């Protein structure tokens, strides 16, 4: 009878679903961050992710603080790891293989992916760990409402799903004994993009400007990137 009672309770239980209306790239630029703040004040967002390594980071955090009381909801905040654009927080001397002489990131998504399968991957992984740790700590320090016991993590162009970057991220989390509440798992469906040409440019924002010049090459890069991400997810799930 106890078993039947539990079954009835499960059937009668109402399912509760929470949907996050999210915006990436807070801190990428003052203009983009201003638009995100306006959406928060209009009640159109309840979740954002923050980049720590752009030159306007401090200014954007100050804007957030000044206008926070006007938000309809206090948003969930994720760390938006950025390993492709902007300046390294670790410094060129600590991550020489990731940046140019000026300390700006120099590796593309594709290069990071292929590095994952090279004998030298550990050298890159150790440098990635330094940068990832600093970016996460910088965002958490800037937003006192955040906690390492419930940290939320995603990344610019989903780079955290590249094998060598994922390894670096999980090692940092383990070594620091952080407790993630959420890590984005990006599974992009391919069929809508295969069926409708107008969607090609939306697969990856960074190649949108080249679509009109070399659509077939750009589309091939986009498909390869999305397939590699989905393959990594499937393969990792199989191993687990």
CB 204 within 8 A of CB 157: yes
At residue 198, the pLDDT reads 66
Which among 136, 6, 163, 13 has a CA at the least distance from the CA of 80? 136
DSSP string, 136-172: HHHHHHH-TT--TTSEEEEEGGGGGGSHHHHHHHHHH
pLDDT score recorded for residue 186 = 78
- List pLDDT tens digits, range 64-106: 999 999 999 999 999 999 999 999 999 999 999 999 999 999 9
The number of C-alpha atoms within 13 Å of 13 and in the hemisphere containing its C-beta is: 9
> What is the rounded average pLDDT of the residues 191-206?
60
The pLDDT confidence band at residue 209, using thresholds 50, 70 and 90, is very low
pLDDT tens column, 127-172: 999 999 999 999 999 999 999 999 999 999 999 999 999 999 999 9
Please state the pTM of the whole predicted model.
0.76
Residue 104 is classified by DSSP as B
């Amino acid at each position: 009878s106890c078993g039947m009672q539990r079954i009835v309770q499960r059937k009668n239980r109402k399912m509760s679903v929470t949907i996050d209306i999210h915006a990436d790239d807070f801190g990428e630029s003052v203009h983009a961050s201003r638009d995100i703040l306006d959406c928060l004040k209009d009640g159109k967002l309840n979740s954002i992710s923050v980049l720590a390594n752009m030159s306007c980071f401090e200014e954007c955090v100050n804007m957030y603080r000044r206008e926070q009381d006007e938000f309809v909801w206090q948003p969930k905040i994720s760390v938006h790891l950025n390993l492709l654009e902007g300046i390294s927080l670790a410094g060129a001397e600590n991550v020489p293989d990731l940046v140019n002489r000026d300390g700006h990131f120099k590796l593309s998504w594709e290069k990071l992916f292929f590095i994952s399968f090279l004998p030298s991957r550990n050298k890159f992984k150790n440098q990635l760990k330094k940068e990832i740790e600093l970016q996460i700590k910088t965002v958490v320090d800037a937003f006192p409402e955040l906690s390492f016991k419930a940290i939320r993590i995603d990344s610019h162009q989903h780079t955290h799903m590249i094998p060598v970057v994922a390894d670096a991220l999980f090692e940092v989390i383990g070594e620091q004994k952080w407790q993630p509440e959420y890590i984005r798992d990006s599974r992009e469906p391919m069929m809508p993009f295969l069926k409708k040409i107008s969607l090609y440019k939306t697969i990856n924002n960074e190649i949108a400007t080249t679509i009109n010049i070399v659509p077939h090459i750009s589309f091939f890069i986009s498909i390869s990137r999305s397939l590699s991400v989905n393959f990594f997810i499937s393969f990792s799930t199989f191993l687990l």
